[in-house]
Amino acid sequence: MAVDVVVVGVGYVGLPLAEAAAAAGLSVAGYDTSPRVAAAVAAGRSHVPDVSASRLRSMRASGFTVTTDPEVLGDAKTIVVCVPTGLDSTGGPDLGAVRAAAETVAGQLTPGTLVVIESTSFPGTTDEIVRPILEKYGLTAGKDFSLAYSPERVDPGNRRFGIRNTPKVISGHTPACAKSCAEFYERFVDTVVVARGTREAEMAKLLENTYRYVNIALVNEIAIFCDRIGVDVWDVLHCAATKPFGFTPFVPGPGVGGHCIPVDPKYLLDKAEREGALLGVVHAARLVDDQMPEHVVERVTRLLAEHGKPLRGAKVLLLGVAYKADVPDTRESAAIRIAVRLRALGADLSYHDPVAVTVPELGPPVADLDEVLRTADVAVLLVAHRAYDHGRLASTARLLFDVTGQVPGKEVVRL
């Protein structure tokens, strides 16, 4: 039976997309290679924070299913590929999931289908890597099927912007492909922006995240410098942010993390290197962001020394190990890098996170937060989850180092 859209990769990007399409009245199915994901959806358990269990049950009631059987792709009018793009063991782009998804789609592709890639990658991926795979069985993009690229703009935990009210950049292999892609997204997205081509859309996504990467590096470097000269960086940022033009506020932190910000600029740098170009600003930002976890460790070491305690053997409690507030995702988390480094230097490390799952490399989290707060030599707030009572943290901890700048009080040491 024909289905309006099949989402390939039902994770942080794919499930919210499926939910938005289903809410607009489209018939939606999911394809995922993970039996765990398929079983969770079948049981009505959402594995993605941005889609609640109640909304997932509504989707299920309207016919939404997730399967590990690729034959579902043969019934799709539109196929949207939302698989992750990460880094390989050398730190370079890993398009293994995209290639595998394209191979699977190619084996089921029928004439008239629209195939959209949402996975982030370098300019040329859709045309040079995905298109030849999809055409391997004789169908031609732009003639027998439509091929398009539309970068995902999902921001996990963002309560203001979701799929519908975030402008959607789309592009196509041909103008007709772009038109088909626009018509698809216009059914459940308020604003559709048509890029000149797939390379421009791919590059736009990398620019968006590299912009954040560079500006985070800037304020992190300013924070390090302010610490050196004895200036309150948070007051500096507050004052600068009052300018109503020409300044966009960013805040320092333990280092960049997540599935996009620390990864996407490396796709850009890899492409630039292969093209013989030098993106000096992006390289510089990478150096700064990579050193931020070490700066946090140095601050913890210095703070303990000021209180007559060496780092080795000190009880250090990390508060928050996810990559951002109110999201359970720990991918590329700077907090984990900090934890591993502190432990390597001999700290008696423990951690707590009200939303993230257990981190295997760190062992189980603490069970009694108040007890550990009272006994730890220093507690380090790395992620300001809403579940944390900042006043309670400040009043209970023997010594609180706030990397987030969210905890008020003269007794709190801030980054």
List C-alpha distances in Å: 173 to 79, 114, 353: 15, 11, 44
Least Cα distance to 406 among 377, 384, 380, 382 occurs for 384
| DSSP alpha helix (H) spans, 230-375 | 233-240, 264-274, 280-306, 334-344, 369-375
Cα 152 to chain centroid distance, Å, stands at 11
Question: In the Cβ-directed half-sphere of 97, how many Cα atoms lie within 13 Å?
Answer: 21
Collapsing DSSP to helix, strand or coil, 316 comes out as strand
Burial class (CB in 10 A: 0-12, 13-18, 19+), 57: middle
DSSP class of residue 130 equals I
Residue 117 to residue 11: CA distance in whole angstroms: 15
List C-alpha distances in Å: 159 to 82, 154, 265, 298, 355: 21, 11, 26, 35, 16
Residue 188 to residue 5: CA distance in whole angstroms: 12
Of 177, 181, 226, 260, the active-site residue reads 260
Does 226 participate in catalysis according to the annotation? Answer: no
Q: At what angle do helices 280-306 and 264-274 cross, to 10 degrees?
A: 140
Give catalytic residues, as residue numbers.
260
